[in-house]
Structures are given as structure tokens and as C-alpha cells.
A and B are shown apart, each in its own frame.
Chain A
Amino acid sequence: MIKHIRIKNNSTVSLWDIPLLNYEDLLEQSISLLQDESCHCVNYFGYPHRDQLILICCIANDREHLITISSSVINFNSVLPSFTHHHLAFHLFEREIHENFGIKYSDHPWLKPVRYPFSRADKNSRIENYPFYAIESEEVHEVGVGPIHAGIIEPGHFRFICDGEQILHLEIQLGYQHRGTEQLFLKKNNLLQRTHFAESIAGDTVAGHTTAFVNLWESLCNYDAEDHLQFSRTLALELERIAIHTGDLSALCTDIAYQLGSAVFGRLRTPVINYFQRWCGNRLGKGLIRAGKNNYPFTKQLGDPLKRLFDEYERDFIEMYDEFKTLPSVLARLEKTGTVTKEQAASIGTVGMAAKMSGIPRDIRVSHPHDWYERMNHEPVIKHYGDVYSRTQIRKEEILQSIEIIRNMIKSIPPENKKRKELSFPAPDLFGISLVEGWRGEICHCAITGENGNLVHYKVKDPSFHNWLALALAVRNNEISDFPVCNKSFNLSYCGHDL
């Protein structure tokens, strides 16, 4: 009964070629696809069309490097059996469909608000009245943290249920950062404005989200980005990974009060982001990635200083990390803290570091390669304990790996094509999908064009969308004082989730 169409990353399909199933068949098919360990759902969302809602489900097969697309049409007043009842990885997608469009589910175990978007179906649902899970007992107490936190960090509310110092349950309530980003992609119809939205989805993942956007946009316009553009995007992605991972190691040291590590890793991030500024005038890479062009071509004059930067960085980084990892007081805080098992990670569909830490080899650079990754034999860094230390080790190893990737890349820099062809406009009635492995993990953007080629739907998924629940599971049975280090070890995005 398999009814779907399979496409590659960064390709498009005519809307009319996406098989339309009845809802029960879509459910059965999606659940059965996920029986295969190499499949996971990369996006599942509703798109209102005429008086009905089209559900589009995208399941990636990592082994076969293909993405399965199928759809179903339902009425807005539907009460449906949920996918989540059969597979937890769908829980947030269905909560989102419920929140945005008012679709009811008969057997969803946790049908709570996601982000309180301005366009939500139920305007009576308000962020100050989030229905937290509670335990009636004299023995436990609740601790509420946020939305505003102690440091300079985005807002979100954490509600702990504790037995003494031990966390029994954590519920994370988000939505404070909701800026209406997906809707603005449609409202402002100039390409530069849309690129700005992509750059602002998460300002710590500028290269990640902007690459997803421009790759998707170019595929809608049937435009093949030349080598030079692909090269620059890939380089920016790896540079961003190095910068943010380094900053995260510094922050982890801060949270365990290891001053030397905090200072040295913190200062090691500086030359990397300053390099971005040297390349494109902005320390976080804003302004660099553009569809169909590149305002800041990467040249040999840029390659040589980067090589020298890495030689110095690597020496200092390894020296610091070697010291850090031999300190018993460091290891005592990181090892066996905030553990997520492989079964848990697989069941909730984590991505990126939050998958790789528990032995799940999920990395778009291998499974659905794009840009320069198609020319590499990338090997993801995999750990197995799922604890804070695994996430720390992944960062360290990925940093060194990314340096090698860049060193190899800049050995031969593809020249810029000064006579590149002009970007045209998106073709009508298309569905497109783009996957990128950002430093946090898998980013997915989907777009639908209408009959004039105008954008009629834009869907963004940050890796944090899947991974926040992993943090909530990680802290169970840990001391509440270990929460900061657990949180930092995931370093998830609030604005990327809230959009």
C-alpha cells in the first residue's frame, strides 16, 4: 500500500505529484516507515488550503539518502487518532498542528501548547496559564525557573518537581521568543528580507539556517549553485561549528566553576568569530550567505590566515583540553550526569549532538549531503553514554574534525564565477525541502509555492524542536544543582524553537 514519493535533499516536487492518502493510511504508512532504524521524521506539518488542511509528512531514510513525502487532506473540525500514540517522535509535530489549526486528537498523550503563536487557533490559551504537570504529594515540591534566567540567555520557563534535591520531573515551557518568523517569510516578499529572516531564526546558527534557506530557494528557482558558492557555505557551516562548540566548552567550564577552562576556551572562540568578521564584516557571519551570489568571495588571501589561525588555535586548544580532561573535579561533574539512553533518544527522535551522544549516527553531512559534503566521506563523531561528558567529548572531537575539513578544503579554493547566471523566480506549485547539519544538528526548511510561484507556506524546524525533550529526560533523578551544566551541555535554541 506504500504511497509516497521519494526525493533527495534540496530537490523539489510538483505539489500534484505528492500522493494524497486518506488519513488512516498516512498514519499507518508513517508509523511503519519508522520501524526502520535508519528512518526518522524530519518534518510533519499542516498547510491550510481552501477550507481544508493539507498534512505533509517528510520522513528521511538515512541509509538510502532519500526523503519520503506523502500527504493527506483533513477538515479543520476533525478529531483524529494521533501518530504520537504509536510513535513519540511525532508528539511535538502534532501539538503544533493542534495549536496552529485547532485539530483535535483522540489519543495524544500530551496535547499541550508549543509556543503560543499569535495566530494560534485558541486565543484563550495564554502563556501565563500553561497547564503544568503536577504531582499531589506532601513529599515533593516544585521549583520554577524563568522565563528570565540568571545569565544573559534567552527566556523560557523550567518547572521542576523535586524530591529534596533530586529532580523527579522537568517540564519546559517555551514560546516567549515567538516573533512570527514563519508568517513573515510570506508577508515580506523580497528575497533580501527573507534572507534576513533566515539569518535571524537563531543568531547563533546564522550559517546553518541561512544555508538551508538559500539552498531551498535556489532549488525552487531551479538554480544550480556553482562550486564557489557551495564551498563558501560549507566553510561557513564548519567555522560556525568550531566557534560555537568552543564557546560552549567555555560555558560548561563556567557552570562547573573551572575558571581556567572558562577563560581559555572563551578567548579561543574570539579569533574564530573575528575571522568571520574579517571575511564578511560580521562576527556571527550575518551578511555572508546569499542565494545566487556571494558578496564576500573566499580567496587565497583569506585562506592563508585561516590556516595560521588554526595552527595556533589547535595547539592552545589541545593543551587546554588535555588539562581539563585529567582533572577529577571536572570529570566528577560531567560523567554520568544528565544521561539519555539510546532507547529514549530514538523514541523521541533527537537529532545532532543529542542523537550522536547516545550512539545514534544521525548526521545530515553523511545521510543527505549537500554542497561540499557531497565530495567528502564524512564520519560522524559518535559517543555512547548519553551524558554531559559525551556531549563535551563530541564538541571537542567535532572541533578538531572541522579544522581538518577546512584545512583540506582550502587546499584548493574554487574560483569565483564572475559571470554566474542570474537567479530567476520560484516555479509555481512546488514543494521543496532542505536539510542542513548545523552545529546543533539537523535543520529542516520546507516551502510551498502557489500558482504564481509566490511563497504560500514556509516551515522552519530547528534541531532544538526535537531536542528540548531530551534535556527534560536527561535531568531526571539528577541533583537540581546539576541542571545548569546539563542545560549548557545541550545548549538548545529558544528562538529557533519559538520562531
Chain B
Amino acid sequence: MIDNIKILLRQGKQYIPDVTHAKVPGIFRGRPVISKETIDENALVELCPTEAITGSPVCIDLGRCAFCGECAFAFPDKIKFTTDYKISTNERERLITKDGEDKTIELNPDIIRTEISKYFSGSIKLRQVSAGGDNSCELELNACGNVNFDMGRYGIEFVASPRHSDGIVITGPITENMAVPLQICYDAIPEPKIIILAGTDAISGGIFDGSPALNRNFLTMHKIDLFVPGNPVHPLTFITGILELIRKR
């Protein structure tokens, strides 16, 4: 007992007090900023492994970007990654950053379904389904609940059964072999329910886009309520995104 108390005292408080204004350590690659600098656009577009960059004007689609940073190494005056981790949004187009723009990524309040704020603003329970995820986003989603990020304090929790959940969080590019289980799980969630895509693989297929082993039909049939970019998603990106989505309006 005494030993336990000693350990507790030594560990002290570990949680991040305010997840919306945290400072991520090190050289985190969050929201990129693209300058107006003239460069060899073709070379830049060619270089990107996931076809996230398009030319004239230069844009980066964070729904495709694998956050490898190679573009910023090759064209340091053109592209810089900031440590801004608040890059979740509910509108696919808002994930596209254009050159010359340096504005934060926000949710579009007009397209948030009214039920979301009504039912989920106090608490939301989520069911996670990995559909070809490489276990990096899964690790980070688990980390959301640890003593550092402590998502539970906001009433956001992952639950075991779809019957107890208010929505589904999908990771991975959605494999053919997971297409049916994913649909079954979604169907088992009571209405109203939301869908969150966590990570580049889920949002666009990422590096696996075009693989014959995928089946992404599920996404064409349903409205997506939140896109959380990242490779993997950062816990702070995920938590702040959900807080914005379910905020009382």
C-alpha cells in the first residue's frame, strides 16, 4: 500500500490540462503552409508518394498526405509543416491546403447534423473498427484514453459493443476482407450514429489507394461526419476534432 502511494506521488499529475492549447514536443508535422515561391511544380507533384500534391496552384490534400515530410525537404522554401495539430474537419474539401494560405482548419458548422449536438454533446461512446489499419492509428487511438491525453474526462470513450456506441471510428484503407464485417458492425449501432475516418489510409486509401485488395464501397453509401488526418493520427488531433464536432451549438 505504502509503495503504491509512493509510486502515485512520484508520478503526480500526468494529464495535459488543456488539449486545445497544448504544445506538441519536437518537430511534429501538422498543418502545412505553402508559400507563393515559384518552384518546379512538376518535380514537386511527382515526388509525393501518395499523390497528395497537385499543381497550379500548389495544393496539399491532407486526406491523402502521409506526412512523410519529403516535399518540405526537397522544397524547404515552398512547403513548411507547422506543429498545428488541429487539422480535423467534417468537410472533405477543407483538408486541401492551398499555396499562399495560412489559415487554420475548422469544421463547417452548417453541415453538422443537429442530432449530434443534441445527443452527443455531453458524452459520446465510439466503436472502433480497423479495416486494414497498420496498427499505428490503433495505437494512437488507444493512447487517447491513457493518463496523458485522458479523453474520458470529456465523456469520449471507446466501447466494446456497437450496441452501446454512438458511432464508428474507421482506421485503415478498408480491405475487401473487412468490408462485410464493417457493414455488420455499422448496422448494429443504434440511430442516430456518426462515422469518423481516422488516418490518411481511411480517408483516401493513402499509399494503398488503388490496391485490388480494397473495397471502399462503404464510404460511398454513407455521410462522413469527421475526417481526422494523420499517419498515424495524433491523439490531440483526434480529441480536439471530436470536441469541436459535439460541442453544444
Contacts and interface: CB of A to CB of B under 8 A. Distances in A.
A456 interface: no
Given A179-B214, A267-B11, A323-B4, A204 B136 contact: yes
B152 interface: no
Nearest to A260: B4
Contacts of B211: 118, 179-180, 183-184
A277 B26 contact: yes
B70 interface: yes
A177 B173 CA distance: 10
A178 to B, nearest CB: 5
Interface centre among A152, A178, A195, A270 (most CB of B within 10 A): A152
Interface stretch (B32-40, B87-95, B123-131): B123-131
A152 B25 contact: no
A286 B231 contact: yes
Interface residues of B, number: 66
A320 B231 CA distance: 32
Contact of B26 (A117, A128, A266, A281): A281
A143 interface: no
Contacts of B148: 267, 270
Given A176-B178, A203-B232, A281 B69 contact: yes
Contacts of A278: 25-27
A175 interface: yes
Interface string A294-328: 01000000000000000000001001100100000
B67 interface: yes
Contacts of B133: 154, 177, 203, 495
Interface string A114-158: 001111000000011000000000000000000110111111000
A193 B140 CA distance: 23
Contacts of B24: 277
B107 to A, nearest CB: 24
B213 A180 contact: yes
Given A148-B129, A153-B138, A282 B29 contact: yes
A266 B11 CA distance: 12
B132 to A, nearest CB: 5
Nearest to A494: B135
Contacts of B138: 152-154, 203
Interface string B150-172: 00000000101100000000001
Contact of A192 (B7, B49, B147): B49
Given A280-B27, A281-B81, 17 more contacts: A147-B181, A155-B181, A176-B131, A176-B178, A177-B133, A180-B211, A192-B68, A200-B134, A202-B135, A203-B232, A267-B148, A277-B25, A286-B66, A286-B231, A295-B73, A323-B4, A323-B7
Interface of A: 116-119, 127-128, 147-148, 150-155, 175-181, 183-184, 190, 192-193, 195-197, 200-204, 206, 247, 260, 263-264, 266-267, 270, 274-275, 277-284, 286-287, 295, 316, 319-320, 323, 493-495, 498
- Closest 4 CB pairs between A and B? A203-B136, A278-B26, A203-B134, A180-B213
